[in-house]
Structure 1
Amino acid sequence: MTRKMIIALAVGGVAALAITGTAIGAVASDTGQDRKRTVAAAQTGDAGTGAATDAVSAERAKEIALAEVGGGTVEEVERDRENGRPVWEVEIDQGTIEYEVDVDRQTGEVVKVERDDDDDDDRYDD
């Protein structure tokens, strides 16, 4: 091999290594960003539709749900879906009666109310 060919191969190899290294770095960086988004979604409890997209806050959903059933103690509020619709699921305790109220996270509309009397006979529960 001539000296020019050896130099050309060496320069080409270094360039290829530099380009490949940059590409690998970019992939690693994207993977890191994806991981951050996944962790953030897990922390909010709703992959892909986190708090930034909720027009109605959890606090407002509590107020709406309490007004719907006439008061009580809010036991739990969590993000959920009802027929594909993003809702706040609000659980309310009124002593012997428990309610589960679904409030649309975009409009604040009450989507569903389930009532459960705290007895052993579930035949007459809604």
Structure 2
Amino acid sequence: MKRITRITVGTLATAALLTAGSGVALAAHQTGSTAITTTAAADTTAADISARKAVQIAKKRVPGARVTKVEREWEHGQRAWKIELRKGAWEYDVYVSARTGKIIKLKREYDD
């Protein structure tokens, strides 16, 4: 039983590191049992969309544009991918929800 617990803890720890989630914390009691505690709300889950998928969504919204920057930010109270695009003299900031994949904000600026 201890071996299975250790393997499970190792697997969960690896999964938490791979998803880069800061919302999941692993804790072991002094008795040797393992407990998983979550803080407020887990920001990243297996259902979150990847940066690659967010870029595809943004490029579909602004066809022919080239990606200049990709960041992960908070926008409108939720985690979002901010994809900066350029098309001609126009600069676009497309915010894609990291949870749902929907565009939650679009900014367009003319760059002289």
Q: Same fold (TM over 0.5)?
A: yes
The structure that has the greater radius of gyration is: 1
Give unmatched runs, 5+ long, in structure 2: 1-16, 24-42
Q: Distance in 2 between matches of 1:86 and 1:53?
A: 14
Residue in 1 aligned with 2:53? 60
**Aligned counterparts of 1:90 and 1:65: Cα–Cα separation in 2:** 7
Residue 68 of structure 1 deviates from its aligned partner by 0.6
TM-score, structure 1 as length reference: 0.53
1:89 maps onto 2:82 in alignment: yes
Q: Distance in 2 between matches of 1:83 and 1:94?
A: 26
What is the aligned residue count? 79
TM score, norm. by length of structure 2: 0.59
Greater fraction strand:
2
Unmatched tracts of structure 1, length 5 or more: 1-39, 120-126
How many percent of aligned residue pairs carry the same amino acid? 36
Paired residue for 1:72? 65
- What stretches of structure 1 move > 2 A for 4+ residues in a row? 46-50
Q: Who is 1:107 aligned against?
A: 100
Over the aligned positions, Cα root-mean-square deviation in angstroms equals 2.6
CA drift at 1:60: 0.4
